[in-house]
Structure 1
Amino acid sequence: MSPGPTSSRPTGTKAAAPSAATRARSQDDAIIEVTWCYYQEGMNQNEIAERLGISRATVVNYLSEARKRDYVRITLDTDIFRDHDLARRLVDRFGLQDAIVVPTSSAGADQSLDRVTRVVADWLPGLLEPGDRLGVAWGETVYRVAEAAPRVTVPDLTVVQLVGSRPAALGFAAETCSATLARRYGAHCVNLHVPLLLSNRALVEELKREPVIRMQLDAVADCNKTIFACGTCTADSHVVHTGLLDPADVDPCAERGAIGVICGRLIDHDGNGLNREIEDRMIAVTLDQMRGKDMGLLVGSGPDRARPMLAALRGGYATHIATCSETATEMLNLTENNA
């Protein structure tokens, strides 16, 4: 009787375990396969689990991971929101070039803002052209737009940080907003490498004379398009948390007419600046520089944003607006009541 087949592996040894890199590649392949089956072939989660021999919970986890990795991006045609009756009314009422209004979320103001910023992230690339110089403001709203932005290439686009650096919570800092958006669009980024607020005016003027800073400030002034929000002037607003408005000055500024904030600068009912002493110690885009752009995209939503956003429109800072239906309705009602 001839001997049976032999193995080259010595008796008693085990096959080498797959390396960490091999396991990672295997899981990546599985994530892509699950994603393809779900979004391209229209299979449900149970069918995918049966085909691939994995649990339904694993399918759910893989689909979640695919979204985190930006393998999948779910969007709605922005024309749906541009054609909304409230959007058309905003355009007609304020002489805007265009507007987007999304349905207000029943889950609350934060979810409504999330809807607005996600739609803006999809809308913005279509508003940009090769050679544009996009000025980017700061704060939570602009940060959310940047984080939600798709990875698309806008040829010869320059993204410019509009305000100097200032500590801000959760990544809302100006340099984070501009750098994130530039990275998503494959754009050249011009950061403003100075503090937003300094201790005295002489130091501001000295810094502005530095050649590198002068070049960056020229880029700020040269932007032909901007994206920004108009914040509030209350005790819990961004301008207070970042130290640009002292809590003790909230009420006195309100008495002087402060109703909104654009790039750290307070504005009144008509969009005019309050010209506080602190503004001479700031290095940032001026209110005059924010006016008269080819595009000024004003983004915001929430029950406290209607009046500030109206002030920004009256001041001539915006040509486009994106908001939720509740905020749009309130803005229109306020204008009818001359508020």
Structure 2
Amino acid sequence: MLSWEERRQLVKIANLYYTEGWTQQQIAKKVGVSRPVISKMLQKAKDAGIVEVYIKDESVHTVELEKRLEEKFHLHDTVVVPSTGFTPDMVRRAVGQAAAHYLSRHLKPDVERLGISWGTTLSEVVKEYPFERREKVNIVPLVGGMGTKSVEIHANQLAYELAKKMNGTCSYLYAPAIVETEELTERLVQMQDIAQVLEEGKNVEVALIGIGNPHKGSTMKDIGYLHESDIQSLKKAGAIGDIGSRFYDQEGTPIEHELNKRIIGLRLRDLKKVPYVIGIAEGTYKAESIEAALKGGYIHTLVIDEQTALALLT
């Protein structure tokens, strides 16, 4: 039990430090003790409940969500972007900005091979990425993509744009994402130029991936890669999400479906071997797809919006 005199002294020191902004050294000189003694007294003030530290900032809520997501899904890192009151476009842009900033800050200088998938969210990441000098890096598209529809979100285009931003180089996967038949897929993946880029994709050190929901808000459906019959068939097979146009079930296991055999791009089992995978997604309609991807163990760091983070934690 603290005496009145002792308590008064702790209040006085805590007030000088937390309210007046004095340094521990300045307080030590005034009181006539050493700096370590002041440090111990400030700790004592906290232990006695005299001082309670509150962090007052809107980020506190999202930081708490990040911690909970990391614990629940065993993630290396998480970024939760505030999104209350935002329109879907604003959310996508905010998540893209956060992911671009995160990648720029955390991408090690010695990384030479970076893979990128495709989609509208990844397109925002590339748009928001700053111009840098990373001459050593080569950007590799992780899935095919040809045609004239929505070219700006295809992996080849994103690889090219990101390479320009980083002042690096890029590879091109000259093949469609989805091929008409399994036989044609087999023939294409054996072509030297395509086989070489697919091999590069298996050996990237870092991968940037988006997460899709084939049943709601599907970009693959919007641009004509998937038809209603495909979606019904995928539903029957238990597909809950896709990464790089590869479909998986609610446990994150690749589904047995002929569409998965007609994709030209990185297989999910090879994605699991990539040392560092950053998953970037937004929209509560993707919550189940994201959760399944996390269960499947494909992602090390997740960049996500606040509302979707809350949906993952309820």
| 1:140 alignment partner, one of 104, 120, 124 | 120
Partner residue, 1:296: 277
How far is 1:153 from its partner? 1.8
Tell me what 1:253 maps to. 234
1:159 aligns with 139
Partner AA of 2:279 in structure 1: L
Q: Is the 8 A contact 1:105 1:111 kept in 2?
A: no
Task: Summarize the Cα distance change of 1:201–1:243 in structure 2 as closer, same or farther, 3 Å threshold.
Answer: same
Determine helix, strand or coil for the equivalent of 2:78.
strand
Change (3 A) 1:258 1:184: same
Residue 240 of structure 1 corresponds to 221
One of 149, 172, 195 as aligned partner of 1:214: 195
* Structure 1 segments (4+ residues) deviating >4 Å: 80-83
The residue number in structure 1 matching 2:207 is 226
Identity of aligned residues (%): 26
Using a 3 Å threshold, how does the CA distance of structure 1 residues 308 and 235 change in structure 2: closer, same or farther?
Answer: closer
User: Does structure 1 residue 181 correspond to structure 2 residue 196?
Assistant: no
Structure 2 CA distance for partners of 1:93 and 1:220, relative to 1, 3 Å: same
Kindly provide the amino acid, as one letter, of the partner of residue 144 in structure 1. E
- Between the aligned partners of 1:227 and 1:91, the Cα distance in structure 2 is 18
Q: For this pair of structures, how many residues does the alignment match?
A: 254
SS of 1:305's partner is helix
> Shift of the alpha carbon at 1:287?
0.8
Aligned position for 1:117: 96
Pairing 1:1-339 to 2, within 5 Å after superposition: 84-129=63-108, 130-167=110-147, 168-169=149-150, 171-234=152-215, 236-333=217-314
CA distance in 1, matches of 2:176, 2:256: 19
Provide the secondary structure at the position in 2 that maps to 1:214. helix
How far apart are residue 176 of structure 1 and its match?
1.3
> What secondary structure does 1:223 align onto?
coil
SS of residue in 1 equivalent to 2:303: strand
Q: Secondary structure at the match of 2:309?
A: helix
Calculate the TM-score normalised by the size of structure 2: 0.76
3-state SS of paired residue (2:285): coil
Per mean C-alpha deviation after superposition, the further-off stretch among 166-175 and 84-93 is 166-175
More contact order relative to length (CA 8 Å, sep ≥ 6): 2
- How many angstroms apart in 1 are the aligned matches of 2:187 and 2:70? 43
Q: Give me the CA root mean square deviation.
A: 2.0
Query: Structure 1 residues 248 and 240 mapped into 2: Cα distance closer, same or farther (>3 Å)?
Result: same
C-alpha deviation, 1:155, in angstroms? 4.4
Alpha-carbon distance in structure 1 between the residues aligned to 2:124 and 2:92: 9
Within 1, Cα distance between the matches of 2:218 and 2:292?
A: 17
* C-alpha contact (below 8 Å) 2:237/2:256 kept by paired residues: no
Cα 1:189/1:247, change in 2 over 3 Å: same
Give 3-state SS (helix, strand or coil) of 2:177's partner.
Answer: coil
Q: Tell me how far 1:126 sits from its aligned partner.
A: 2.2
Q: Tell me, in whole angstroms, the C-alpha distance in 2 between the residues paired with 1:241 and 1:112.
A: 20
- Residues of 2 paired with 1:82 and 1:175: CA distance? 37
Maintained 8 Å contact 1:98/1:321: yes
Q: 5+ unaligned residues in a row in structure 1: which ranges? A: 1-79, 334-339
Amino acid at match of 2:202: A
Secondary structure of the residue aligned to 1:166 is: coil
Distance 1:101 1:208 in 2: 38
Q: Which amino acid aligns with 1:89?
A: R
Which string of whole-angstrom CA distances, capped at 9 and with x for unpartnered residues, describes residues 302-325 of structure 1? 120211111110111100001111
Distance 1:310 1:214, change over 3 A: same
Distance 1:196 1:252, change over 3 A: closer
